[in-house]
Structure 1
Amino acid sequence: MAEHALEWRPRHPTDLLQTVGSLRRGPGDPAFLVDAGAVWRTTRTATGPATIRLTQLAPDVLRAQAWGAGAALAVAQAPELCGDRDDPAPFDPLIDPLRDAHRRNPGLRIPRTAAVFEALVPAILEQKVITLQAHASWRWLLQRYGTDAPGPVPRPMKVVPTPAEWARIPSWEWHRAGVDPRRSRTIVEAARFADRIDEASALSPEQAAARLTLFPGIGAWTAAEVAQRALGDADAVSVGDYHLAKQVGHALAGRDMTDDEMLAALEPWAGQRYRVVRLLGSAGGLRRPRRGPKLPFVDHRAR
């Protein structure tokens, strides 16, 4: 039996897998698993670790079950996790590609984990490296330093380390995980102020971004990646991304764009710009011709 459970009807149409899928850090993420249509996710709450199982019982009915010391908090937060605080009402597609994507994806919501530091660590790992490399580092670190997930998980899962445990990881272990000293220092330093970082969940998007970017090594891109997941910010744009401006440029104008040009092109959807990016991605619109340089793979373990 689950320690805690909740069944509810979302305020807006919600596609569970599409909504929470953005929280998975690549195939084999030890903290995220899809099994037989159910989403299993681990988290660390104020009262301890938890495993939560999310299922879509019907198009308009979701269910959460949770195990572990943090199960009650995890279940209480489950509606927000599944986008219940996301309000699509102000969104106007305006152009045909977005109208079509919006019509085809009526259940795409913006999730909100409210776990700011938890979202910050993998975002830092993804700074200035290819995504596959960051995901491999995430898997290695959780397998080595995470704790076993509570509950009847379908296969072994891990709960992220506590901030204190992140801070104690020695330099050579970061090296073995393929994480360079700049990113590892950023995580270790941020871990020492995890409480202050987690307070950002109660701030406005602007205040949260200002709080996060006070810390060395955390810039606008990282703050946006955190806001998209931990804060449910439907407007957060990952400015500085290696590919995003070019992809959005081709989706909206058929050409590469700079970050400034991308922001100007997204201005008609101010307040909903991340939703635009998600919808374009769901419709396959975030692609561009395969030309030009790619971000190289850098094996930091060989240094």
Structure 2
Amino acid sequence: MATVTAAMVKDLRESTGAGMMDCKAALTETGGDMTAAQDWLRKKGLSKAAKKAGRVAADGLIGALTKGTKGVVVEVNSETDFVARNEQFQGLVKMVAQVALDVGADVEKIKAAKVGSVAVETAIADAIATIGENMTLRRAAALEVAQGVVSHYVHGAVTEGAGKMGVIVALESAGKTDELSALGRLFAMHVAATNPQALDPAGLDPEVVKREKDVLADKYRQQGKPENVIEKIVDSGLKTFYKEVCLLEQASIHADHGGKSVAQVLKEVEGKVGAPVKIAGFVRYALGEGIERQESDFAAEVAAASGKK
């Protein structure tokens, strides 16, 4: 049986909002499997399904840049948050975004591309030597439409086009460019706030949908509901789930949209834009998501350095 540590209990509590003892019980029952423990708590009705994505585990900056029908978002990591306030590092992130806009989102191509006579990879190495921290171009993504615009939004910006989160949204339309750009920025802000998993239900990972169905069915099965009733409840629950995680079905966060879904807003703005509008895609990068930072035991480090155990 896997050992359940205090750190595991803390992480599960932060991601679900459940009580400490319930989190420990869930981890014990599931052999320390975090995902299974989250499902166990939901089935028992103990999870508050907190929308927190977890603590950011890396520093640096997200850069976002758009031009007409093209847009990119990049993540450049550093060891500490101090570097994000360094003008040289900020300039490096902007340069990387500009190169990505020119050559595409392949990280190796970006590194090999030259700015003047210097390759981006060399520029990163020079910044490491000058600033004194390790840095890496972690990832990049690009969107492009044949007709329309790609808009962006940067949250927690420390300089123009670079901050703690970056979003690009592509709108396909033959309508007015200025209206589309403003609309795209509103949708980018919405994506930053709600973190949708897909554009619509068809875009969701089938495994994610299956997991949701299983969790809902097991939860009500444990409550003694008959199978024919469970089927209806699950169908209703999936519709609610789609409204939470699919961009087009989410209620717009903007007050002047009156609580309408993003799909409804798109339909309503056609007259103002002068043509039908379609969201062709979106990308949302939050700094450090998916990266685990090793937490050091300072006291142990000092003891080790002094030769003590």
TM-score bracket for this pair, using the shorter chain length: under 0.3
Give TM-score, length-normalised by structure 1. Answer: 0.25
Give TM-score, length-normalised by structure 2. Answer: 0.24
Larger radius of gyration: 2
Which has the larger share of strand? 2
